[in-house]
Structures are given as C-alpha cells and as structure tokens.
Amino acid sequence: MRITVFDRLLFVLQTILILLIAIAIAGSTIAIGFNVVTLEQIGGVIESIQLDWRFFIIAPLISLLLIILGIRMFYANSRPKTPSGALVKRSEFGMIHVSINTLEAMTQKAVHSFDQIKDLRVNVLTEEDGVRIKLRLSIMPDVILPELTVAIQQKVKDYIESYSGIPVQNVYIYIESLSTMQPRPKVQ
C-alpha cells in the first residue's frame, strides 16, 4: 500500500516537532558553551514553569502524540512495496508481481489471433480485485460486430486469467474505425 496524504501530513508534523526540540537543545547547549546563558538562568527558566494542571495535561498529550506519530510512521514505512504499475498475486509460495505492460502484451496477443482486427490499442486498469481492460479496435469490413466483440471479450478474459492468474473484471471494446484494407495474413 502507498503512503497516504494523511500519513504525509503526520510525518511533516512529527518532523517539525522533532526539529523544534532539536533546535531548543542545540541552541541552549551552544548558548551555555559561549557563556551567553548560564546554567542557573536555564534552571531558573525551567523552575518558572508552573507545574499546574495545564502542564500535566499538555506534556503527556504531546508525548502521546509523538509516540502515536512514530508508531504510525513506522507502520506506514514498513508496508511491503509493490513495484509501480504492477499487480500482485499471492500464491502459496510467495508474491507474484505482474506488470501492466505484460498484461497489455498478453491482451494484444489474444486479440491479434482474430484476422478481422486491423489495429488495436490496449489500456489495462487495475482494481483491488483484478483488472479492467479497454480495447480500441479498427476492424475489417463485413464483420458481424456482436459476434466478434463477444468472442474477443471471452478470448481476452480467458487468456489473461489462465496465463496470469489475475481476474479480469470487464473487457470494454470501442470500435474506433472500419478499415477498408484486406485482412492481414495470419502468421503461425
């Protein structure tokens, strides 16, 4: 899973708090080192903090916030990373990453098995439970569209699911144009 916007905001808040604490510690040690401030003066500032109910509420809340932020950031950064543009499939032996490019190439191979297809553009969209495939086709004339499109949808779905193991939710087909050229010879 990715780091969300909320995680990034928490990380920025945590970084700012830690930076302020580090600046306070570094500034006071430098000031003491150059005799700008004495230890007695710093002790006086610390003693002047009123230890009333507000201190006993605010200090633990800030500490609790830092602890929660640290745990949240540790959890967000320790999630397994998935390669960009890849689908993950789990098997009993481990994780399998299949790139979108691989699925597009597999789809092209499945669609090009039809002689009636002149040109093809593939777009694979990932979802949590599989993929959606969008096809833009240029086809040859004198083709029965309902039969061809259903056959293509079935072939793509079966091919991707059987060879990659990733479920295909939908196969959308958009007939972009009708070609006037003769069918291309099928190479085997």
- Per-residue pLDDT, 59: 83
Share of the chain above pLDDT 70, in %: 87
Q: Which amino acid is at 88?
A: V
Q: Higher-confidence residue: 74 or 187? A: 74
- Per-residue pLDDT, 1: 46
- Whether residue 51 is predicted with pLDDT greater than 60 in this model: the reply is yes
Q: Which of 56, 30, 126 is nearest to 86 (CA)?
A: 126
Q: Which of 112, 136, 114 is nearest to 123 (CA)?
A: 136
Q: Which amino acid is at 79?
A: R
Question: Can you give the residue ranges of every domain in the chain?
Answer: 5-77, 95-178
Tens of pLDDT, residue by residue over 166-179, are 889 999 999 988 87
Residues 162, 165, 169: CA angle, nearest 5 degrees? 90
Return the H-helix or E-strand segment holding 126.
strand 117-127
Tens of pLDDT, residue by residue over 138-168, are 998 888 999 999 999 999 999 999 998 888 9
Burial class of residue 153 (count of CB atoms within 10 Å of its CB; 0-12, 13-18, 19+):
middle
- Per-residue pLDDT, 123: 93
- Whether residue 185 is predicted with pLDDT greater than 70 in this model: the reply is no
Q: Higher-confidence residue: 74 or 104? A: 104
Q: Higher-confidence residue: 180 or 184? A: 180
The pTM assigned to this predicted structure is: 0.53
* C-alpha–C-alpha distance, residues 82 and 97, integer Å: 8
Describe the crossing of helices 100-111 and 145-164 by its angle, rounded to 10 degrees: 140
Tens of pLDDT, residue by residue over 11-40, are 788 788 888 888 988 888 888 888 888 888
Averaged pLDDT of the chain:
83
Other Cβ atoms closer than 10 A to 64: 10
Q: Which ranges in 78-144 belong to alpha helices (H)?
A: 100-111
- Per-residue pLDDT, 113: 92
Assess if CATH 3.30.70.1350 describes domain 95-178. yes
